[in-house]
Structure 1
Amino acid sequence: MLTTDRGQEISIIDKGIQINSPESTQVINFADIDTLTINEDNVLQISASGVVMQYQLVNTDNNQEFINQFGIAKLNATNKAKEEKARAEEEKNKGNGNINIHIDNSSKGPQQQAAAYVPGKKRVSKLTYVLLAFFLGGLGAHKFYSGKTLMGVLYLVFCWTSIPALIALVEGIIAITKKADADGCIYM
């Protein structure tokens, strides 16, 4: 079982991952999970059905390994080292008459989460991509912008048929429906 900085407990059950919090219990089925990783900062990132969830991990039962169908990841000791450093700093500053305020902005809320990295896709500005698709899509400008040069050339070669313009219109509409990250970017 994993514990987060918000007091949530994350465990593996037969059908997926269960997240228990004081308010509710959530189960994410294995079939819905696209990716699951624990990075070097002990952040568990679950991408399921296009939604990215991040949990700052602080503890495991007896430092056990987190094992599931996606592989093995172990909670490392970097958080313990950070906690020890913070405690030492706190002890050092105690009793000196100074007021010490520690603000930790490291955890991002859902509105600040960046779009999950998608292998093989390029991160582009949503607004720029949509405008290029609508106004210059028949010439493949949005494809060149998103790094798909071969497709851009094909759009350019067949622009006289108006088929690329229709496809670009649909691609522009699809891009509008994609959720952008905090910087207004999407993966195409």
Structure 2
Amino acid sequence: MEIGNPLHFTTRSQKLALELMKTLGIKESIVKAFQQGTVSRTNYINYNRILQANATEQDQQIISDLDKNGLLVYHILLSLEMDWQVADISSDQATSTFERIITLKSYLCVPLDMFAEEDMHGEESPPRGIVIRNFIENSLFMAKQGFLYAYVVNEANSNSNYGNIEVTVVRGELVRII
């Protein structure tokens, strides 16, 4: 990614999103969809059942809200987490069951204004170009380690939060590690 040229916020963010996807080696169809302005979603049911889908109306509303908050969403990961409960530990073999399946939606995103994202909290900040370059390099480094920044919605309790999530690629499909 060429860093020295001044770019509009959105263009720079789009380039970073593309670099993150390419760094992880995800399917070309997902990359092409993003280049055409479409955010797609990977539904990870289990290791053998990974499906691609378009963003739903609810997803589009969240994407719009995140855009208003200065974040560009480039892909959505839907994953299922089982809420386990140990049912019987008195027998020779402990048996576990799960009470419910929790749906997690992770909206992978990058900031539209990388300089503002790296607020120095009152400290004298280095030149804008250096701050942006460091942000991009750190984001790509984290992606190589399997971590991406996301807005995560837990549909079981309607909680949501921002943070890094752990991901991996399974047969070209990007999935969240739970």
TM class, shorter-chain normalised? under 0.3
Which of 1 and 2 has higher RCO (CA within 8 Å, sep 6+)? 2
User: Which structure carries more helix by proportion?
Assistant: 1
TM norm structure 1: 0.24
Which structure is larger by alpha-carbon Rg, 1 or 2? 1
TM norm structure 2: 0.25
